Amino acid sequence: YWAVVSSLKGGQALFGTGLLPRDPQWSNYTDLFVQQPFGRNILNSVFVAASVVAASLALAAGAAYALGRVEFRGRTPLLMVILGVSMFPQVAVLSGMFELIRWLGLYNNLLGLTLSYLI
């Protein structure tokens, strides 16, 4: 509610605490598409989200089946390593991930963003 009310305010009215804006500025929504490439940004987000979900499902389904059903030597240590790595905070691998993305030449690229979200 507060985000919608704030989007209808402009200038100094943003600092007011009224529950409804006195003079709603509907032009804020048109300015969003005229002054910024908002439509393109939404399409980029949809592309990245869809590709990450598709790749995650493809990789995770095969890995989960293999780890759950197939008996192989080293399965338990591998599961323990996966559990141990999942306990690290994500920010701990941020610098290494940045170097990997830069080394692969994917910096400032949708594929680089997809890879980082997938990891």
14 Cβ partners below 8 Å, 6+ apart? Answer: 6
Largest CA distance in the chain: 70
Q: What is the model's pLDDT at position 18?
A: 80
Instruction: Please report the pLDDT score of residue 59 as a whole number.
Output: 93
Q: CA geometry: angle at 36 spanning 46 and 42, to 5°?
A: 5
Look at residue 21 in the predicted model and tell me its pLDDT.
84
| The pLDDT value given to residue 87 | 87
Q: How far is CA 56 from CA 28, 91, 103, 104, in A?
A: 37, 20, 23, 20
**pLDDT given at position 43:** 96
Which pLDDT score is estimated for 17? 81
pLDDT tens readout for residues 28-43: 898 888 898 999 999 9
Given a cut of 50, the residues of the chain with pLDDT beneath it are none
Phi-psi region of 109 (alpha: psi -120 to 50; beta: other; left: phi over 0): beta
In this prediction the pTM is 0.71
Instruction: Mention every residue, 6+ apart, whose C-beta is less than 8 A from residue 22.
Output: 13
